[in-house]
């Protein structure tokens, strides 16, 4: 156990914790909590009793417990008026103007917990810093407002309609510090809000490969004989997977000769493959962790078509396997990863997608060098050693400057 | 606070590669390579936020619209999901399609005409209001200068 002043006393607030099928922000909070606890810091996770992120039903018992060596205290989710929530959300999606009260009603009818906020107010003296993630939950909005002087916001910000709300700007302004996952996410936030430079920092999450990657195990299992472009993640419109399938179909059907490539999609959610495209689009389904790494290793390149990424862990994982990447130019985060690392190219329409693929096929040495540059970028900036070092330094400074 | 983000990774100038890729796309476009295909969906990405982000995307969408206005009635695959009668079903569908062409062609040509007009009007409106906006900005600037 560390001794003061090295020892940090931290609360981490997340809408769900260790509830299975975690989203990016929940995963990040759990990883931070466990790694910081291992380093001897005093950690308490404050979360809700919810398990299902669609219903937000209170399924876990309230009160304190331990998960993975970390103290976790759960509180019931407030009653939610889902009709009001959905009505306002539809208006947000249509970019209609809302009053601050309407926006706050939308957040309050999303996910929040009066019990948790009350606990924070009562016990704030026990914590040096309180970390909140992600940004678009009432729990985060109300929590930061309850302890602004100690609040560190980990927004996991996307360029989406919710980012343009007045409440989002208010949240960013109220927090004492904001920790971003990537330089791209930080730049997006600075383009949307006025945030003093000294209160924003890039931290992120550690990404490390397994001890062994066995590409042949993956290709044998799925009978893959040609090089392939790989995608891993949720397969849905929001992640632009239908667009990737359509681009790939066009590439195979109109380019003469058709590139000797397949497209392999892994992850949750159904995929629809039109007509004859089924011959070169392979549905690998949900892959367990080792199999996913084997797939990265077997891939010719990785493609992340989504424009809603605040970190894109799969892109960083594919770089650790030494593969070049293709990303959507309209995602500031993945674009910035590619620009900073030299590990990927970007496209804004089909024509550029086609040309990127052809260029990499014509220049295999360049493709290999890009994969290597990506690997180096992740090793330098997103190893757990680097991340925990940044976290401890920044959190220590926030505490000491108060 | 400590940011310490290291960006010095070894060697690939991806900006240069992208410039080369864009040059190749433009060259292909100039040679009319893409005109051989109707790529109406190729630039079709549902993201209204991008439209709000500035002229760069607006210009791009306008270009995509102009390209997509020239729809091609034959740009789809006639297929069948039937496991055993796939070929005859496809043949029958193709025959029906040919027989109906006399009627569908009328709608198709009117739709093409409408699309082309919409695209041209939008482009004209953009030019007209851009010019007007520039004039107003100049006027505001000169008024500000006069006042100070």
A-chain residues within 8 Å CB-CB of B40? none
Of A346, A380, A390, the CB nearest to B18: A346
What's the total number of domains in chain B? 1
Of A352, A366, A373, the CB nearest to B9: A373
- Which range among A266-280, A290-304, B56-70 has the greatest average pLDDT? A290-304
Could you report the per-residue pLDDT of A193-215, keeping only the tens digit for each?
988 888 999 999 999 999 999 99
Q: Domain of residue B73: give its range.
A: 43-147
Q: In Å, how far is A182's CA from the nearest CA of chain B? A: 9
Q: What share of chain B is helix, strand, coil (3-state, %, to 5)?
A: 70, 0, 30
Q: Would you say residue B16 lies in a domain?
A: no
Do the Cβ atoms of A307 and B28 come within 8 Å? no
Could you report the per-residue pLDDT of A126-173, keeping only the tens digit for each?
999 999 999 989 999 999 999 999 999 999 998 888 899 999 999 999
Do the Cβ atoms of B42 and A343 come within 8 Å? no
Which has the minimum average pLDDT: A49-63, A248-262, A372-386? A248-262
Q: Would you say residue B49 lies in a domain?
A: yes
Of A95, A201, A345, the CB nearest to B3: A201
Residue B55: the pLDDT is 55
B64 close contact with A: CB closer than 8 A: yes
Do the Cβ atoms of A380 and B29 come within 8 Å? no
Would you say domain A9-206+383-401 falls under CATH 3.30.300.30? Answer: no
Regions of chain B with pLDDT less than 70: 1-10, 35-61, 64, 73-76
Do the Cβ atoms of B14 and A339 come within 8 Å? yes
Q: Would you say residue B88 lies in a domain?
A: yes
B86 close contact with A: CB closer than 8 A: no
Mutate to test the interface with B, among A94, A342, A375, A376 (most CBs of B within 10 A): A342
Q: Would you say residue B26 lies in a domain?
A: no
Mutate to test the interface with B, among A349, A365, A402 (most CBs of B within 10 A): A349
Domain limits, CATH 3.40.50.2000, in chain A: 9-206+383-401, 215-381
Residue B41: the pLDDT is 44
Residue B86: the pLDDT is 84
Could you report the per-residue pLDDT of A73-128, keeping only the tens digit for each?
999 999 999 998 988 988 887 777 899 999 999 999 999 999 999 999 999 999 99
More confident residue, A87 or A346: A346
Q: Would you say residue B11 lies in a domain?
A: no
Question: In the CATH hierarchy, which top-level class contains the domain A215-381?
Answer: alpha beta
């Amino acid at each position: 156990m560390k001794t003061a002043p090295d020892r940090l006393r931290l609360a981490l607030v997340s809408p769900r914790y260790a509830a299975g099928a975690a989203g990016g922000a929940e995963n990040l909070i759990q990883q931070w909590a466990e790694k910081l606890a291992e380093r001897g810091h005093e950690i308490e996770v404050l979360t809700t009793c919810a398990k299902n992120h669609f219903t937000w039903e209170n399924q876990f018992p309230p009160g304190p417990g331990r998960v993975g060596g970390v103290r976790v205290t759960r509180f019931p989710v407030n009653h939610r008026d889902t009709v009001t929530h959905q009505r306002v959300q539809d208006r947000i999606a249509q970019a209609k103007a809302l009053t601050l009260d309407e926006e706050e009603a939308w957040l309050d009818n999303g996910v929040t917990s009066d019990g948790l906020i009350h606990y924070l107010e009562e016990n704030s003296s026990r914590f040096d810093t309180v970390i909140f993630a992600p940004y678009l939950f009432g729990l985060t909005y109300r929590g930061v407002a309850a302890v602004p002087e100690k609040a560190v916001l980990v927004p996991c910000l996307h360029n989406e309609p919710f980012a343009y709300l007045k409440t989002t700007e208010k949240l960013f302004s109220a927090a004492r510090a904001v920790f971003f996952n990537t330089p791209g996410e930080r730049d997006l936030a600075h383009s949307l809000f006025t945030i003093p430079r000294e209160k924003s920092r890039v931290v992120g999450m550690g990404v490390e490969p397994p001890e062994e990657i066995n590409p042949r195990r993956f290709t044998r299992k799925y009978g893959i004989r040609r090089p392939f472009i790989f995608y891993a993640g949720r397969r849905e419109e929001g992640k632009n997977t239908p667009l990737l399938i359509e681009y790939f179909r066009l590439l195979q059907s109109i380019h003469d000769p058709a590139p000797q490539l397949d497209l392999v999609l892994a992850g949750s959610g159904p995929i629809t493959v039109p007509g004859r495209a089924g011959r070169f689009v392979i549905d690998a389904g949900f892959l367990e962790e080792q199999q996913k790494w084997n797939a990265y290793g077997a891939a010719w390149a990785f493609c992340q078509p989504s424009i809603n990424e605040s970190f894109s862990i799969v892109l960083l994982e594919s770089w650790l396997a030494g593969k070049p990447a293709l990303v959507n130019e309209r995602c500031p985060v993945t674009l910035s990863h590619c620009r900073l690392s030299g590990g990927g190219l970007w496209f804004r329409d089909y024509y550029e997608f086609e040309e990127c693929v052809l260029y990499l096929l014509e220049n295999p040495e360049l493709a290999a060098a890009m994969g290597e540059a990506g690997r180096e970028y992740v090793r330098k900036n997103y190893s757990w050693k680097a991340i925990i070092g940044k976290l401890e330094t920044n959190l220590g400074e926030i505490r000491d400057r108060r | 606070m400590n940011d310490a983000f290291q960006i010095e990774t070894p060697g690939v100038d991806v900006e240069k590669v992208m410039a080369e890729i864009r040059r190749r796309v433009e060259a292909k476009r100039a040679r009319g390579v893409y005109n051989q295909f109707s790529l109406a969906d190729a630039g079709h990405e549902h993201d209204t936020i991008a439209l709000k982000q500035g002229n760069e995307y607006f210009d791009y969408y306008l270009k995509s619209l102009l390209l997509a206005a020239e729809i091609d009635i034959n740009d789809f695959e006639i297929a069948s999901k039937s496991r055993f009668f796939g070929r005859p079903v496809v043949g029958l569908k193709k025959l029906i399609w040919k027989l109906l062409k006399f009627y569908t062609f009328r709608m198709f040509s009117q739709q093409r005409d409408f699309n082309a007009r919409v695209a041209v009007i939008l482009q004209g409106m953009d030019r007209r209001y851009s010019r007007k906006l520039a004039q107003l900005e100049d006027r505001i600037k000169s008024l500000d200068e006069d006042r100070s």
